[in-house]
Structure formats: structure tokens, C-alpha cells
């Protein structure tokens, strides 16, 4: 088959969104521009001989040390051939010697290991619909104001493999989103974001100093959701406090991914990660 790998352009993002929706990944309605602007050079497409898109992949370089692979999609009729292989090679060539993360489906772990990725832990997606709200626990929670931004960015930097200030600033400004911060006096001790998706909402990230701060944030982010509207939270399974928190509310795991890394594994304080930001950009 006559096939080429090219750098994507902004008008190609609709293909990524639409096929992520078809795969059942439930993308955020306003994610794509923020994802793309994090590293416009790290988006690649496969096109056939008539220059129709038949696959895509993102390889976002946050800085010189860390990148993340996502949106790895090949149209069903072109799977099992060279399209996915060539997209994967282009993404990894672009990211080079950086530490590279990805969230892959469980069934593909062995495949990703052949590319040099090592399994780190599982992320489990939990669903909440018309469920109980956690207790507030006396933790102060409020909307995020501009004066809080520097402390929020510093808090985020301690829970991601590198600083991602530009991405977080755009993430906090997503349309149809709710941002809440938890604080102990003048000290910021956590933050969370709820954003609109194809189906319901996703919460991510949900970063907190401890279980009490996480549950207070989750309570605020669940409030105001219309009846019968699902809310999803992607929880690192290796944080037992996070798993206990969602299961205490009757939330059920409905999907999952394997967090994997290539070129080393970053050291993260997973005990403060109650919900990952996204499966597409880490």
C-alpha cells in the first residue's frame, strides 16, 4: 500500500477526536487545541495514496527530558499492517532519548514491551452516576484565582515527571470546566479539574496532599452535576487511598490502562495522585 507519515496540521485534529470517540475513549469536548498546542510538532498522521488520513499518533515533548505518546489510532480496515508500526517509529524517533510515557490497553502490554516500554502500574477508570458525595472533612475548598496559580503550578510540578506550566495554564481555562483548589490556611494542598466530555464529565487531574484533601476536592467537583450524568475519574491502582475513596462512593471500574515508560521510569509520589490528568497526555 502506498502510505506516508506526515506531520499533522490543526485541521487534522478532528480525525483524532472523532476516532477517539469511535473507540469509546470519551474524549473531552475541548481537549484537542490544548493538547495540540503543548507541542504542535509532535503530532503525526498516516495518509494513503490519495492523502486520506488512515491513522494518527501524538508524541508530545513537554521538555528535553519527558514526552508522552497518545492518540495511537489506525482505522480498522488498515490495522495489522505497516501503518501502526510506521506511526510508532515516527513518534519514538521524534521523542528520542527522552523518558517516554504512555497509557496502553492491557491487551497490548506485550506489544509495547517489544518497543522498549516497561510496565509501571495500572490506571482504573471509575464511573459515578447519581452516587453519594464524600464528606467534606473540614478542608477548605474554593475556586482557583489568579493569585493561586503559582502555588498550583508548583504543586503540579511535584506530581508529574517535568514541569508543564504552559499546558496546565491552558487546562485550567478549558470551556465548560470547573477548577477547585484545597488549602490549609495559605498553603495549597491540592487541586482538581472537571471537564465536559462526549459522555458526561471527566475529573483530572485530582492531586492532593492526603485523603482528606482529595475527598473534599472530589465532593466539590461532583456537586452540581445534572442527574443521570456520568462522571469519570482515572485512578492509579497503586494508590490504595484513592481506590478506597472511589469504592466507598459505590463507583465502579469500567475501563483501565497500563501506564508504561521507555528510557527509565520517573519517580512520582503516587500517594498524592488521586486522578491522572488524561490517558492521552499523562
pLDDT band at 206 (very low <50, low <70, confident <90, very high): very high
Predicted confidence at residue 169, as pLDDT, reads 97
Class of the CATH-defined domain 4-120: alpha beta
> Is 136 a residue whose pLDDT tops 80?
no
Give the pLDDT mean for 136-152.
93
Where along the chain do its domains lie?
4-120, 125-275
Residue 3 has pLDDT above 90, yes or no: no
Q: Residue 90's pLDDT is what?
A: 97
pLDDT of residue 107: 92
**Of the candidate ranges 116-125, 127-136, 266-275, the one whose mean pLDDT is the lowest:** 127-136
Q: What is the mean pLDDT of residues 141-159?
A: 96
Q: Quick one: pLDDT band at residue 281, thresholds 50, 70, 90?
A: very high
Overall fold of domain 125-275? Aminopeptidase (3.40.630)
Confidence check: pLDDT of 198 > 80: yes
**Cα separation, 44 vs 70, whole angstroms:** 11
Identical fold at 4-120 and 125-275? yes
- For 132-186, the DSSP string reads PPPP-TT-EEEE--GGGHHHHHHHHHTTSSS--HHHHHHHHT-TTEEEEEEEETT
pTM: predicted TM-score of the whole model, two decimal places: 0.95
Give the span between the Cα atoms of 207 and 158, in whole angstroms. Answer: 10
> Does the pLDDT at position 80 exceed 90?
no
37-69 pLDDT, tens digit each: 999 999 999 999 888 999 999 999 999 999 999
pLDDT band for position 188 (cuts 50, 70, 90): very high
* Cβ proximity of 102 and 68 under 8 Å: yes
pLDDT number for residue 138: 87
Amino acid at each position: 500500500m502506498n502510505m506516508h507519515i506526515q506531520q499533522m496540521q490543526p485541521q487534522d485534529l478532528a480525525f483524532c477526536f472523532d476516532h477517539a470517540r469511535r473507540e469509546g475513549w470519551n474524549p473531552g469536548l475541548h481537549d484537542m487545541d490544548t493538547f495540540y498546542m503543548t507541542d504542535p510538532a509532535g503530532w503525526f498522521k498516516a495518509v494513503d495514496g490519495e492523502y486520506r488520513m488512515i491513522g494518527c499518533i501524538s508524541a508530545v515533548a513537554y521538555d528535553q527530558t519527558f514526552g508522552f505518546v497518545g492518540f495511537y489510532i489506525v482505522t480498522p480496515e488498515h490495522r495489522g499492517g505497516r501503518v501502526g508500526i510506521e506511526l510508532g517509529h515516527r513518534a519514538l524517533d521524534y521523542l528520542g532519548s527522552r523518558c517516554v510515557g504512555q497509557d496502553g490497553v492491557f491487551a497490548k502490554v506485550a506489544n509495547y514491551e517489544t518497543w522498549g516500554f516497561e510496565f509501571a502500574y495500572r490506571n482504573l477508570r471509575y464511573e459515578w452516576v447519581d452516587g453519594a458525595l464524600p464528606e467534606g472533612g473540614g478542608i477548605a475548598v474554593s475556586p482557583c484565582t489568579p493569585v493561586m496559580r503559582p502555588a498550583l503550578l508548583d504543586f503540579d510540578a511535584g506530581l508529574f515527571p517535568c514541569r508543564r506550566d504552559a499546558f496546565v495554564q491552558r487546562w485550567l481555562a478549558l470551556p465548560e470546566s470547573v477548577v477547585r483548589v484545597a488549602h490549609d490556611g495559605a498553603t495549597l494542598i491540592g487541586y482538581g479539574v472537571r471537564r465536559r466530555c462526549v459522555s458526561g464529565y471527566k475529573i483530572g487531574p485530582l492531586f492532593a496532599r492526603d485523603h482528606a484533601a482529595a475527598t473534599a476536592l472530589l465532593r466539590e467537583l461532583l456537586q452540581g452535576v445534572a442527574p443521570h450524568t456520568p462522571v469519570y475519574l482515572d485512578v492509579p491502582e497503586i494508590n490504595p487511598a484513592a481506590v478506597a475513596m472511589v469504592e466507598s462512593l459505590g463507583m465502579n471500574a469500567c475501563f483501565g490502562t497500563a501506564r508504561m515508560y521507555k528510557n527509565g521510569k520517573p519517580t512520582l509520589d503516587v500517594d498524592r495522585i488521586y486522578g491522572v490528568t488524561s490517558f492521552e497526555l499523562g
